[in-house]
Amino acid sequence: MTVVKIKKGALALVVFAALLFAGPPRDSEAQTAPGQSGLVETVERGYLAHRRGEYDRAVEIYTAIIQRRGLTAKQRAVTYLLRGEAKRDKGELVESVYDFTRALNQWKNYPQAIFFRGQVLARLNRLPEALIDYTRAAELDPNRESYHTSLALLKKTMRERGLSVEVKNSTLEIVLPKND
């Protein structure tokens, strides 16, 4: 038997994704669309592959879900977020930024996608862009302490480097590759 350790925040995301994918379809297209059955199980397989460090397999599973017809915008957004996490953990940081942006193209005010994109932007040393995302995530989900803690730490780092911590734009536009 394989035991997979689940991070505290990750469990909440899996439960959220399971509920989102298991919920009743919201429109007639989703009710009749092929490929809707087994979504929860497929999301779980992708998640478990990711947590076992099988990032290529997780990306493959999430890509197959994204390509299904009949997903709601929020289902597609959650799947892009999960795929972005797998790419991030694999070290494909720029590609993960693109997936988090794709999630936001599906669900504009998705705080977790905004926050995760900000984390990766910070790792890429794109601190002013990370600041925009951290600030926006904290505004959208003011009760999430980790967003505020990360925002405060980022501002401290930026001040130490002599960078401005003034947010000039409330949203960040990331241009996706032409093949999207």
Question: Whole-number mean pLDDT of the chain?
Answer: 85
Number of neighbouring beta carbons within 10 Å of residue 94: 11
Q: Taking 90 as the threshold, does the pLDDT of residue 180 lie above it?
A: no
Beta strands in the chain (DSSP E): none
Where in the chain are the domains?
7-92, 109-175
Confidence of residue 4 (pLDDT cuts 50, 70, 90): very low
Q: What pLDDT, in 10s, does the model give residues 147-176?
A: 999 999 999 999 999 999 998 877 788 888
Higher pLDDT, 9 or 48: 48
Q: What is the pLDDT of residue 10?
A: 53
Distances (CA, A) of 102 to 52, 66, 77, 108, 179: 25, 11, 7, 10, 13
pLDDT tens per residue, range 84-137: 999 999 999 999 999 999 999 999 999 999 999 999 999 999 999 999 999 999
The mean pLDDT value for 41-70 works out to 96
Q: What is the pLDDT of residue 34?
A: 43
| Distance (Å, whole) CA 1 – CA 111 | 35
Cβ atoms 24, 49 nearer than 8 A: no
- What is the value of pTM for the model shown? 0.81
pLDDT of the residue at 173:
83
pLDDT of residue 171: 78
Of the pLDDT bands very low, low, confident and very high (cuts 50, 70, 90), residue 17 is: low
- pLDDT, residue 178, reads 77
pLDDT value, residue 80: 98
Helix, coil or strand: residue 5: coil
